[in-house]
Amino acid sequence: MTEAKPMRILAIVSGDYGQRHVSNIRSHGPAEWVIETWQAPGVLPQVLDYPEEFLPDALPAADLILSFGELPGVAELLPEMARMTGARAAIAPVDNEAWLPRGLARQLRGWMQSIGVTCVTPKPLCSLTETDYLIARRKRLTYEDPWIREFARYFGQPNLLLTVDPIRRTISGATVVRDAVCGCARHVAQGLIGVSADDAEQQAGLLHHHYPCLASMGIDSDFGDTLMHISGNLLKDNVAPQVKPYRQIQYIIPGIKSD
């Protein structure tokens, strides 16, 4: 990858989930990125014996494939799509186990590795950083790939840089260093302006909750929690240490009435 060669991205979409992601990437990613989309079939069999039967005759050349399909069968198309496009990297998020079960995600990483393609399966998508990603509670996998790393500079695990007014102890600025792919972090950043340092962590969680997060609301056995909640905690964990020096901690002593 060189400065003279902009990254070519092929995004697989099959519904609102993928469309919203692509819209945010186009609006806030580097202007030089070349982003194409392919609409996945609405129905796929449980086992694809011949994946090429469900693909077009040709696909645009790509460096990175983003798999936003909402059917497990989409994962089985990715190795053939990588061959057709020349892509050397792929991101196949697990925001819902119904779309990409953990076993299939593990198989997919192996299939792609066997043809020389780096594939990451962040669970949830907003756990992706420039070096690793979550697949279960306290379990992150590392990767080495320039295309995925370039994408994760801008989209993945939210990273907000907050400015706090030390006198008022309120948030006066919020720069989005890395947005969530769906745009949630940018939404939270805008909503935090003027919020007290005491309330910022909780408010970040509420703003995330009210944004149409696309992670599953069902309990995930890898986390013992919903992926939506895990996603919200990643944002709160980014906000909390930045406002901690400005928080006014109140101690309550049992039996003592405060003034």
Sign of CA dihedral 107, 109, 112, 116: negative
Tell me the pLDDT tens digit for each residue of 36-94: 999 988 777 666 666 777 788 899 999 999 999 888 889 999 999 999 999 999 999 99
Residue 259 resides in a domain: no
Residues 43, 96, single domain; the answer is yes
DSSP character string of 198-238? TTHHHHHHHHHHHS---S--SEETTTTEEHHHHHHHHHHHH
Helix (H) or strand (E) holding 240: helix 227-243
We report the CATH number of the domain holding residue 74 as 3.40.50
Task: Report the distance separating Cα 171 and Cα 242, nearest Å.
Answer: 10
The domain total for the chain is 2
Provide mean pLDDT across the span 97-124. Answer: 96
- In 3D space, the residue among 145, 98, 153, 100 whose CA is nearest the CA of residue 122 turns out to be 100
Residues 45, 107, single domain; the answer is yes
Residues 137, 199, single domain; the answer is no
Enumerate residues 6+ apart whose C-beta is below 8 A from 125. 91, 93, 94, 95, 156, 180, 181, 182, 215
Residues 172, 89, single domain; the answer is no
Provide mean pLDDT across the span 190-199. Answer: 97
Task: Report the distance separating Cα 238 and Cα 240, nearest Å.
Answer: 6
**Among 138, 154, 170, where does a domain finish?**
154
Residue 2 resides in a domain: no
> Domain limits at 27?
8-154
Residues 93, 123, single domain; the answer is yes
Tell me the pLDDT tens digit for each residue of 226-242: 999 999 999 999 999 99
Residue 171: phi and psi, rounded to 5, are -80, 120
**Among 154, 189, 211, where does a domain finish?**
154
pLDDT band at 213 (very low <50, low <70, confident <90, very high): confident
**Among 154, 188, 210, where does a domain finish?**
154
Q: Is the peptide bond before 124 cis (omega within 30 degrees of 0)?
A: yes
Helix, strand, coil shares of the chain as percentages rounded to 5? Answer: 35, 20, 40
